[in-house]
Structure 1
Amino acid sequence: MSNFKPFQLPLISLLLFTSVFTRNNSSVFASPAFLRNNQTFSRPDPLRHFRLYKGGYDIRNKHYWASAAFTGIHGYAMAGIWMIFGLGFGSYLIIKSFNGGFHPFINHPRSYYLTCFALIITFTSIAIIFSSLILVANQSSLHRSKNLMATILGSATTMKQTIEIVMRSLIKIQTFLKPYDTDTYDFLNHITNQMQKETISIQNFVKEAQKASNYAFKTIYIANFVFVTANLVVLVTGCVVVLFHWHPGFIIVIIVCWILTTVSWILTGFDFFFHIFAGDTCSAFENFEQNQNPESNSIMSILSSCSNSSNSDKLMAQIGYTVHKYIDESNSEITTLAHKMIQTNEEDDDSFAIERICDPFSTAPNYIYSPGDCPQDSVQIHDLPNILSTLTCEKNAPAEICKAQGRFFPESSYGKTMAYIQSIEKLIATYPDLQSLAGCTPVKHAISDVALHQCKPFKKSVKLLWVCILTLSIDMVILTSFFIVKTYMEKGKQFSLCSIVPRRLPC
């Protein structure tokens, strides 16, 4: 009787794949910079003496951030000019007052007062309208920003959960193989430790990224909200001052409006930078969605299995080949052993047959996982333990009785064989998760969702925010100027309560 060779599964190939895979996937979330677009920019970089930044979209690169932030220079410059002009104008008025004050103001026609009042009311109304629009756009941009980040961080969490599922399966395989294969057990233990580190790394990244993104988005939201709220209060106060003709109140309103206008221009530049960043980000997502070939267009700063689908296919084909070879050899060994152990009569030779183990993978070269293609009379992997127990010949049982009962499998090989059967069963059950991880499916689905459904409304809300704050800034410059004119016109004049034109003084 020939010795039966126990089921031998080349798990080292699987584990080598797992090791390579986990290293590749760790880079997806080891840094916030998991996206990169092949599009290059040409923007002045203030960190390099305003030399042009020629790089692409890379949120790890401080020069990208500096060049993107510099796009809001029109707002920052206007804020600086307005502030300098205000300081100069204020200094001039102070010096003038110390040198004898101003000459008496002339009496203007009634139409001047009516026109100035109408212009102040008009531009105040415009300011109120656009302040309200800013509140709406600000709330919308915060909501859409959070949704976008939740989608991306959600994919990171899904990757972490999937790795944990695979890790639990590998730990289970460790338990099966520990009594029979210490080398594989030690290697599996090393891999699970590495995967544990990866899950901790992803968890830390999600926690830090969520905290940082929430802080950034809330800062933008609060800055715009506080400014608009303060501006609305000042606008209402300005209207009251105009109606009551309180001259000191005009001075206070002008000073506060000047400060708020400066802040408005700063926010205009900052919101424009936010608008540019949103456009860069969405362009990167959309570009990747349209062309996922990393050789011609790569935005994912990750290694082979995530950034190169051909490598992922090769790795998964290696897994398929491993299982396919195992099942093919097992079928051959079982059939050979059965024929040797069961010596049938000559007339029964044609009637002897044995069911084959289901091979859920196709043949070379792709070894695609397709469990539905197994023949109906094949034995499923999960059925093997029950079948094997009925075919195992007990150690002390006579060989003749085993042959008569069709028990041709030696008990001495039962334990080790069962360990490998259960290992391959776990592997096949985990294969869809491995496939998902190898192709970075959660990340790619998140990118597709952002590119197809979230980017357009996100960019629209951010652009609306910038347009409204820009319009409000221009309006505030004009309105502040009319407040100055109004103050000039009413200096030394007497008005009835809520009147528009001054009272006529007696001769």
Structure 2
Amino acid sequence: MSNFKALISLLLFTSLFTHTSPVFASPFRPDPLHHFRFYKGGYDIRNKHYWASAAFTGVHGYAIAGIWMIFGLGFGSYLVVRSFNGGFQPFLDHPSSYFLACFALTAMFILIAIIFSSLILVANQSSLHKSKTLMDTIFGAASNMQQTIEAVIQGFLKIRTLLQPYDRQTSELLNQITNQMRKETISIQSFVGEARQASNRAMKTVYITNLVFVTANLVVLVTGCVILFLHWHPAFIILIVVCWILTTVSWILTGFDFFFHVFAGDTCAAFEDFEQNQNSKSNNGIMSILSSCSNLSTSDKYMAQIGYTVHKYIAESNSQITSLAFKMIQPNDQSDDSFTIQKICDPFSGPPNYTYAPGNCHQDAIQIHDLPSILSTLTCEKNTPSDICKAEGKFFPESAYGKTMAYIQSIENLIATYPDLQSLAGCTPLKHAIADVATRQCKPFRASVKLLWASILTLSIDLMILTLFWIIKAYQEKGRHFSLCSIVPRNHQQNL
């Protein structure tokens, strides 16, 4: 049974996982958590340094927000000082066209702000849905892989139980393999849990932050429209302060959404890189979970070796069965030349690939799952004379029955587990998931995130201009009297 031991040894490849190597790393991405040194850790959503370096890409938005807030504080302080020194005189009298133009421009920028606020709501909902679908695809595949490993472990445990009374060395080897695979199962479970939690937290943060901001912004815009027609000057001052704060928050969100845009690009770049270069020797894994996937050529080599070992074991078993049968029956007559023995079905093709092909067995071949019942009818009991066994066609010795049955059932369990081994060797679930993400999901995902960032950027610029127009309107209407819902002051109305 040395061939079976060799087969078990070959199965170790399913539990040998390589180290994680970076997939996507920008050489121009400082890490604020590491003294602003360049981040080189690759795409790893469990790594806080990756998140810090990615978030830092939105520094332009954060910087403009800081400048705008400082400018606002300075401008506000200047107004307070001037108010204590006599205040401001109202603007000189202007023609009604001046008021109409200012009103029209203010209304236009309010309309633009409402339009892009609506676009942000649409893009925000779309990006949440697409990012959730993408992550569920990957994490679902990782969970399927975990279940496959657990199924293989259960198959190995059955084999170990069968062989333990007859082959302790192989049983111990199987015990080591299952322990190693359990560790990898825990590792995958830990990865899925941590990565899912991190990605869900990031997605919800982006979604809720944008939603709250846009909702508040729409309320302020509607309020501004009312104030624009009521001409209540103290409300203009409050509106300017609120708009200034909202503009600051908007620029912060511009940087934040740009970081989300970068994250989407990193994610898709990693998946597309793996999809295009998964067979290359220089290919890097995209996540630590992908380190469990062997190189395709290596996997084919190992699976061919497993097929060869099972193929050789069944061939030798068929040879031994034939030899025992002829030895017990000893055909000497001419009529015995037609004596034949049914062979065990070999589910693996011949050299050089030894591909698993259970449908290639001959119709009269004995199936692996039929061997236990057939073997019991061919076993000669220990106290039965050989002549009687010969007459009854029972040529298999009872002393070898238990051990042989254990190995036969082990082979049966191994063959039943083989499709799962193939799936693990080729990393089939993850590769299918990555292919789906890279070819079908990435383009709309990046488009929705880009629309979100572009919309918030446009809104931020619009709010800056709109805030300046609110200041102009406040100065324009200071000390003047307007009729309800009028656009120009009363004195201009009287002159018309």
Alignment TM-score, normalising by the size of structure 2 = 0.93
Deviations 1:112-138 (CA, angstroms, capped at 9, x unpaired): 111111111111111011101101100
Matches within 5 A, 1:145-164: 145-164=131-150
Q: Identity of aligned pairs, percent? A: 70
Question: What corresponds to 1:227 in structure 2?
Answer: 213
CA-based RMSD of the aligned residues comes to: 2.3
Matches within 5 A, 1:382-421: 382-421=369-408
Matches within 5 A, 1:100-139: 100-139=86-125
Q: Are the aligned partners of 2:127 and 2:445 in contact in 1 as well (CA < 8 Å)? A: yes
Question: What corresponds to 1:191 in structure 2?
Answer: 177
Question: What corresponds to 2:432 in structure 1?
Answer: 445
Deviation at 1:327, TM superposition (A): 0.4
2:489 is aligned with 1:489: no
Question: What corresponds to 1:462 in structure 2?
Answer: 449
Deviations 1:291-313 (CA, angstroms, capped at 9, x unpaired): 22242332345687614112212
Question: What corresponds to 2:259 in structure 1?
Answer: 273
Question: Does 175-184 or 145-154 show the bigger shift?
Answer: 175-184
Q: Are the aligned partners of 1:38 and 1:299 in contact in 2 as well (CA < 8 Å)? A: no
Deviation at 1:36, TM superposition (A): 4.0
Deviations 1:402-436 (CA, angstroms, capped at 9, x unpaired): 11121100011111111110000010011000110
2:343 is aligned with 1:356: yes
Question: What corresponds to 1:340 in structure 2?
Answer: 327
Question: What corresponds to 2:5 in structure 1?
Answer: 12
Q: Relative to 1, partners in 2 of residues 1:304 and 1:288: Cα closer, same or farther, differing over 3 Å?
A: closer
Work out the CA distance in 2 between the residues paired with 1:297 and 1:175.
39
Letter of the aligned partner of 2:188 in structure 1?
A: I
Partner-residue secondary structure (3-state), 2:153: helix
Deviation at 1:38, TM superposition (A): 6.2
Q: Relative to 1, partners in 2 of residues 1:201 and 1:492: Cα closer, same or farther, differing over 3 Å?
A: same
Letter of the aligned partner of 1:317 in structure 2?
A: A
Deviation at 1:50, TM superposition (A): 5.3
Work out the CA distance in 1 between the residues paired with 2:322 and 2:488.
111
Work out the CA distance in 1 between the residues paired with 2:153 and 2:67.
60
Work out the CA distance in 2 between the residues paired with 1:48 and 1:185.
49
Q: Relative to 1, partners in 2 of residues 1:294 and 1:451: Cα closer, same or farther, differing over 3 Å?
A: same
Question: What corresponds to 1:3 in structure 2?
Answer: none
Q: Are the aligned partners of 1:362 and 1:369 in contact in 2 as well (CA < 8 Å)? A: yes
Work out the CA distance in 1 between the residues paired with 2:40 and 2:150.
40
Letter of the aligned partner of 2:264 in structure 1?
A: A
Q: Relative to 1, partners in 2 of residues 1:164 and 1:346: Cα closer, same or farther, differing over 3 Å?
A: same
Q: Are the aligned partners of 1:41 and 1:55 in contact in 2 as well (CA < 8 Å)? A: no
Q: Are the aligned partners of 1:170 and 1:188 in contact in 2 as well (CA < 8 Å)? A: yes
2:238 is aligned with 1:252: yes
Work out the CA distance in 2 between the residues paired with 1:117 and 1:463.
32
Question: Does 68-77 or 144-153 show the bigger shift?
Answer: 68-77
Work out the CA distance in 1 between the residues paired with 2:126 and 2:281.
37
Matches within 5 A, 1:238-317: 238-301=224-287, 306-317=293-304
Partner-residue secondary structure (3-state), 2:293: helix
Work out the CA distance in 1 between the residues paired with 2:278 and 2:142.
19
Question: What corresponds to 1:174 in structure 2?
Answer: 160
Unaligned 5+ runs, structure 2:
none
Partner-residue secondary structure (3-state), 1:433: helix
Question: Does 378-387 or 419-428 show the bigger shift?
Answer: 378-387
Q: Relative to 1, partners in 2 of residues 1:22 and 1:157: Cα closer, same or farther, differing over 3 Å?
A: same
Deviation at 1:24, TM superposition (A): 1.7
Letter of the aligned partner of 2:429 in structure 1?
A: P
Work out the CA distance in 2 between the residues paired with 1:197 and 1:56.
24
Alignment TM-score, normalising by the size of structure 1 = 0.92
Question: What corresponds to 2:305 in structure 1?
Answer: 318
Work out the CA distance in 2 between the residues paired with 1:57 and 1:392.
61
